[in-house]
A and B are shown apart, each in its own frame.
Chain A
Amino acid sequence: MATNVYMEALSPTMEEGRVVKWHKRDGDPVKAGETLAEVETDKAVMDLVARADGVLRQVAAAEGQTVAVGSVVAVIAAPGESVGPSVNAPPPVTSGSGKRDTGNVVTVTAPAPVAVAPLPAAAPADATRVKASPLARRIAKEAGVDLQLVTGSGPGGRVVKKDLERTPSQGAPVASAAGAAVPSPVSRVPFPERTGAAYQDVPLTQIRKTIAKRLAASLGPIPHFFLTTEVDMERASEARDALNKQLGDQGKVSFNDIIIKATAHALTKHPACNAWFQEDHIRYWREVHIGMAVAVEDGLITPVIRNADMKPLADIGREAKELAEKARSRRLQPTDYTGSTFSVSNLGMFDIDQFTAVINPPEAGIIAVGSIVQKPVVVDGQLTARRRMRITMSCDHRVIDGATGAAFLKTLKQMLENPLAMLL
């Protein structure tokens, strides 16, 4: 029998709570007493705790969403139990009354577990049932592909392995009617054709496995190490001034845009740093998607500039501005902030000289950017004032070794110090 998870009141005057983070995802096994989600109200964050053992289903409140006290925000189902698509719009229950409406959940005695579509899927209930081979299911799960969006070529439209082997760039069989699937590129410039899959999976070697295990055991979930370098920003500043003069009122290029572009470029030359750590393999991306940390009112989020290496600076500037505005007004869609392969965090505007950023998993690296400061440096034996900026790269040692990270950072430094190098 399924157990409802309610938005709880921790005060008679608390009427609603905002879900700030889910600790468990749809389909995760949960135990009674485990934290399912964090809810924020006023200056307090409280944990929503599982009241039963089972599998989390029907997560009906997204992170950032405010929900009335007493609403059902998820369901804990018994393993293998299917629950009906019923809690899409939980009716608010009178707060403080203690009344708990269990009629929201329909227990279906289906013999086999059925793939439950994540809410809010407005599709009819039978759309949740997709014919697919077990192998295809596994591949789709690992790749994060929604099987409902794949046209099956097997008997009776069954999705088989070969349907998943074609990648989106080669014209994937994506059902166009499904709409929401493919994020539309903002840039109108057609991308040069990339060949092959978007990434390459390389199995972990024995030494990589040992490094991963030992470093992770010693330092925490991600074994960070940090590399700092100081960059001369004189030429980047000149380039920026010239570009902005040319652009006029057509837009503005910021230092952050230049850093994003240079980072993306440097990554194409150092693909070893453009990777995800994935438990038993490392995914080296052939595409470069830069996550851009944006401070919002009560935290931060990293929207993604896709294919940043291929976009003109003006496009990056426009897109970065749009994404930052969307982030601040909480209008980002999941497709806006997922899928980055590397991140950039900039606290220069807070007058921070240098800092270390925390890696955004499963990415293997992040660049922390400090403020640009005029300081005395020696150039060709002469003491002179130059605009300088310190950047620090945090690396996941399971993926990137010291020399690998340093080589990337050197390229990045060169590109920033001589922006023309990006044209090479």
Chain B
Amino acid sequence: MTRRVLVVAQAGVVPYAEALEWQRSLAQARIDGRLANDVLLLLEHPAVVTLGRNSHAGHLLSRDGIEVFEIERGGDVTFHGPGQLVGYPIIDLTRHTPDLHWYLRTLEQALIDALAALGVPAGRNPGYTGVWTRGGSRKIASIGIHVKQWVTWHGFALNVTTDLSQFGRIVPCGIPGVEMTSVDRELGAGSREQELWDETVAAVIRGFAQAFGVETELLDDIQLLLTWRQADGVERKTCHGLA
């Protein structure tokens, strides 16, 4: 069996629109064969609500970091914000198992393994994609993916130290009455925030290595991954206002 590498890039806090653009660029590069390995982007978003869109209107992504995004893909209302570990795997499923359900379940498995390592027992809730704790009564991670020519983007959002009251603004994932939770909440008080974050990131990376059967390589600088964009003639976005 050939050696499969997953490049893990930690990008810090990234505005939603920018991360979406990265994902699309990376996925297209993976489709075109310009990107040799699978990639896992790990990041945080500033507080943002995303609404899936199901109407006739065209692309409606706003680019300047506003609080509510109406995006054109299907899917439910969700919240992203500080303290939530967001992962966007750009994975070529033809190199793994070309099966969307296998991918969803393996994604869940990677997170379940990671949470187990942190001391948080978690599992699936049949019929409701995502990762749940306390026998399916609390949701700790949401999953929503996009696939084009077997290459994936979008991914998961795992609450680590997320301010859970923010979910009160929405009906998370369109499931009324769902109770959201976080690693912090499940472990109880006393965990130090930065430590907990670092431990969670490490556990998630190990979870991916195990569930997907890949070797992980850490990449310090996300820009290295994106440099080919310039070669492509894709200009970096700049803002020239009209005075």
**A contact residues vs B (CB 8 Å cutoff):** 10-14, 18, 20-21, 33, 35, 38, 40-47, 49, 63-64, 211, 214-215, 217-221, 224, 226, 295-302, 334, 337-338, 347, 350-352, 355-361, 397
Q: Which of B142-150, B191-199, B226-234 contacts A (4 or more CB under 8 A)?
A: B142-150
Structural contact, B74 and A355, CB atoms closer than 8 A:
no
Contacting residues of chain B (107-150) with chain A, CB-CB under 8 angstroms? 129-130, 143-150
Structural contact, A299 and B54, CB atoms closer than 8 A:
yes
Structural contact, B242 and A300, CB atoms closer than 8 A:
no
Main secondary structure of the interface of B (DSSP, over half): loop
Contacts of A221 in B (CB 8 A): 58-59
Structural contact, A11 and B174, CB atoms closer than 8 A:
no
A361 and B57 contact, Cβ closer than 8 Å, known pairs A214-B242, A218-B240: yes
Structural contact, A11 and B99, CB atoms closer than 8 A:
yes
Structural contact, B58 and A14, CB atoms closer than 8 A:
no
Tell me which of B54, B64, B148, B239 has the highest count of chain A C-beta atoms within 10 A of its own C-beta: B54
Number of interface residues of B (CB under 8 A): 53
Structural contact, A298 and B101, CB atoms closer than 8 A:
no
Structural contact, A301 and B145, CB atoms closer than 8 A:
no
Contacts of B179 in A (CB 8 A): none
> When chains A and B are docked, how far (Å) is the Cα of A14 from the Cα of B53?
22
By Cβ-Cβ distance, the 10 closest A-B pairs, closest first, are A299-B54, A47-B148, A40-B74, A10-B100, A43-B129, A20-B74, A46-B147, A301-B55, A11-B100, A11-B101
Q: Which of B3-11, B36-44, B65-73, B201-209 contacts A (4 or more CB under 8 A)?
A: B65-73
Of A18, A44, A47, A295, which one neighbours B51 at CB under 8 angstroms? A295
CB distance from B102 to the nearest CB of A (A): 7
> When chains A and B are docked, how far (Å) is the Cα of A302 from the Cα of B70?
12
> When chains A and B are docked, how far (Å) is the Cα of A215 from the Cα of B66?
18
Structural contact, B56 and A338, CB atoms closer than 8 A:
yes
Contacting residues of chain B (57-101) with chain A, CB-CB under 8 angstroms? 57-64, 66-70, 72-77, 98-101
CB distance from A209 to the nearest CB of B (A): 13
> When chains A and B are docked, how far (Å) is the Cα of A296 from the Cα of B62?
21
> When chains A and B are docked, how far (Å) is the Cα of A351 from the Cα of B49?
13
> When chains A and B are docked, how far (Å) is the Cα of A219 from the Cα of B65?
12
27 A-B pairs (CB sep. < 8 Å): A10-B98, A10-B99, A12-B99, A13-B101, A21-B74, A40-B73, A40-B74, A42-B104, A44-B147, A45-B145, A47-B147, A47-B148, A47-B149, A211-B242, A215-B242, A217-B240, A219-B239, A221-B59, A224-B62, A295-B77, A298-B74, A299-B53, A299-B54, A334-B56, A337-B56, A356-B62, A358-B62
